[in-house]
Structure 1
Amino acid sequence: MDLYIGNKNYSTWSMRAWLVLQHFQIPFTEHLVPYDDFLPEQNFKQTLAKITPVGKVPVLKHQDLIVWDSLAICEYLAELFPERHLWTQDIKTRAYARAVCAEMHSGFMALRSLCPMNITQDFTQLGQQLFHENADLQADIKRIEEIWSKREYPKGFLCGNEFTIVDAFYAPVVMRFKSYGLPVSESSQNYMQTILNVGAVKAWIEAAQQES
């Protein structure tokens, strides 16, 4: 398997697919395509154009198959390796997990636009200002906290005691909340710390810190 990703410091969608492969110990070769100005003649678009017409990351290449969407990549991996339990085993909990993954996949636009992921920076002062000035950002944070509050165990993951795909999808949100110092409850802080303690997340952060 080959996974094409963008900069670890910035690329939230790359992070999701990478975490699943890394955490579940699925062998793969990483290809980091550094961000640039995304012009058609520059390296980023030129490199990805040889793999997928979409021209975005992440992209998973497995033999003759190309998958170019984070959620589709994770679903493919879950079907390819059912014994590794990438999703929770309970059918109702799994349906819920898929729903909140899809919600993250298509929603929370205020958080995305106002607080882009930048792992290496401390934007606490800016984050506090943005929070107080933007009702849409407040609504996004409130909804995310509602999702996080439904976990069964205070220091557990979103769907039990094990890291699954749904946690990979919310891991970049943890990075944003941390970098921007956004005000969240003690329960949310516990979940954030749980994610930050995951080995694959630690490895991603360490690599992001080494990027120029």
Structure 2
Amino acid sequence: MPDPILYIGNKNYSSWSFRPWIGMRMAGIAFEERLVPFDMGNGNPAFVKFSPTGKVPVLIDDGVTIWESLAILDHVSRANPASGLWPDDNARRSRAMAVSLEMISSFSALRSACPMNMRRPRAAIATTAAIDADAARIQSLWDECLAETGGPFLLGNFSIADAMYAPVVNRLDVYGFETTQASAGYMARMKALPAWQEWEAAGRAEPWIVEEDEA
């Protein structure tokens, strides 16, 4: 059976592409990467050739098309039960699901004002109460998880929850947010991962420049 195909967008900007990519890399799941760049504010019309939503990421596995980052990660986790992408412990698995879903449904102020950008020079920006509240909630969530599990990642070992928050690590870093000691340590461990560094290096090397807007 051929490896699944993961369609992604620009590595410098595409936060949703980063999530399944780093999760699959960390789990050692083989896949064929197909990067289809966008260099316009609304994506790329070519996405409709493989994506039912006209967005990335998309996974095609044995003829089945899966879109949405969390659905892709859940799919590959179930197809590779030894991957550890979902924690084995039932309580930790439920926590991983809860924090992953909160990432999808929340933090709109931070995500809108601070798009993922791997090559952005680190510099603080003027924030609003809503942005600060998002950053505080994320760090509270991280700190609680790390205190409960002992780390080094949110649920102990690297899991889908860490993959879902990977772009936020970039955001809090390059936009110069103050962080708690526990969150700063977590961010450093995430950025030290070989998979993170592979993605970041590729993103920094890309030629495409896009107006700041989350993709």
**Offset at residue 36 of structure 1 (A):** 2.2
TM-score by length of 2: 0.90
Q: Indicate the residue corresponding to 1:206 in structure 2.
A: 201
Q: Indicate the residue corresponding to 1:142 in structure 2.
A: 136
Structure 1 residue runs without a partner (length 5+): none
1:3–1:31 Cα contact (<8 Å) kept: yes
Aligned partner of residue 79 in structure 1, secondary structure:
helix
Query: Match for 1:18 among 18, 21, 25?
Result: 21
**Percent identity (aligned):** 40
Q: Indicate the residue corresponding to 1:90 in structure 2.
A: 89
1:155–1:190 Cα contact (<8 Å) kept: no
Count residues with an aligned counterpart. Answer: 202
Q: 1 CA distance for matches of 2:10 and 2:131?
A: 25
Deviation string 1:49-75 (CA, Å, 9 cap, x unpaired) is 111221000000112100011000011
**Offset at residue 109 of structure 1 (A):** 0.2
The answer to whether structure 1 residue 170 and structure 2 residue 169 are counterparts is no
The answer to whether structure 1 residue 184 and structure 2 residue 184 are counterparts is no
1:155–1:194 Cα contact (<8 Å) kept: no
Q: Indicate the residue corresponding to 2:213 in structure 1.
A: none
1:3–1:30 Cα contact (<8 Å) kept: yes
Deviation string 1:123-163 (CA, Å, 9 cap, x unpaired) is 514x2x22xxx000111011101111021466610001x21
Q: Indicate the residue corresponding to 1:76 in structure 2.
A: 75
Deviation string 1:63-116 (CA, Å, 9 cap, x unpaired) is 210001100001101110001111111101110110000000111000111001
Matches within 5 A, 1:33-182: 33-37=36-40, 44-46=44-46, 48-125=47-124, 127=125, 129-130=126-127, 134-150=128-144, 151-152=146-147, 156-160=152-156, 162-182=157-177
**Offset at residue 20 of structure 1 (A):** 1.2
User: Quick check: 68-77 or 20-29, which moved more?
Assistant: 20-29
Higher relative contact order (CA 8 A, sep 6+): 2
TM-score by length of 1: 0.91
1:154–1:191 Cα contact (<8 Å) kept: no
Cα RMSD, aligned residues only: 1.5
Relative distance call for 1:6 and 1:139 in structure 2 (3 A) is same
Aligned partner of residue 34 in structure 2, secondary structure:
strand
Q: 2 CA distance for matches of 1:99 and 1:185?
A: 22
Q: 2 CA distance for matches of 1:121 and 1:183?
A: 17
